[in-house]
Structure 1
Amino acid sequence: MRSLQDALYNWLSIQVVADSRPDDLAAAETAQLFQDILKEEHDVVVKEIMRDEVMYTIHFLKKGAEQQYQFPVDLIDVMIDQMKEEPEKFKNYNEKTDQD
């Protein structure tokens, strides 16, 4: 991942999906992948995510120093909103799903 901002954006976008679909193994694995990228490539540990009507705010530690980034709700919630509007297009892949 090139920038911390991109890594945080990608992680938060899929984390929102994983949080809203706790039985979706693919979403959870992808969120974990991006969380690993944050830790390994950027030395970042996310401490808290806050959401209001307009923004998501991510509070995190980078090399021990507290920092934060903000992203517009509309930008982050695009995928989960689309999944809610058209659930038939977004099959939930969990460990119990027959994938033959």
Structure 2
Amino acid sequence: MKLQDALFNWLQMKIVAAARPDDWAAGETLAFFEEILHEDHELDELDMKAADEETIEVNYRDKAGSMQTMRFPREMAEKLLTDIQAEPKYNQ
């Protein structure tokens, strides 16, 4: 899996898991993407923060030890949570 794809998937799951702390599947999926980022891409210190109203940043330490940042559109990053919240079978 490409780094950008893995970071985006991790970001989506981080948002879902934060909004739904009792959602076991969200936590497991988040852990899965963290494992990919740690083992396959050798990243550490993953963190996300809102850069502005339209962008979310993912910050991480790469295998060389340098801090890096990748930005994603907020609307795209939050879409999975929006879709889950709109589906009644996931909100019982």
TM over 0.5: yes
Pick which of 41-50 and 20-29 moved more. 41-50
CA distance in structure 1 between the partners assigned to 2:46 and 2:6 by the alignment:
15
Deviation of the 1:91 alpha carbon: 5.1
- Whether the 8 Å contact between 1:46 and 1:58 is mirrored in structure 2 is no
Correspondences of 1:1-100 after superposition (within 5 Å): 1=1, 3-51=2-50, 52-63=52-63, 64-86=65-87, 88-90=88-90
1:97 maps to none
CA-based RMSD: 1.5
TM-score normalized with structure 1 length: 0.82
CA distance in structure 1 between the partners assigned to 2:78 and 2:3 by the alignment:
19
TM-score normalized with structure 2 length: 0.89
Q: Which structure is larger by alpha-carbon Rg, 1 or 2?
A: 1
Which amino acid is 2:23 matched to?
D
Q: SS of the residue aligned with 1:69?
A: strand
Q: SS of the residue aligned with 1:43?
A: coil
Q: How many residue pairs are counted as aligned between the two chains?
A: 90
CA distance in structure 2 between the partners assigned to 1:47 and 1:31 by the alignment:
12
Deviation of the 1:48 alpha carbon: 2.5
CA distance in structure 2 between the partners assigned to 1:11 and 1:78 by the alignment:
13
After TM superposition, which residue ranges in structure 1, 4 or more long, deviate above 4 angstroms? none
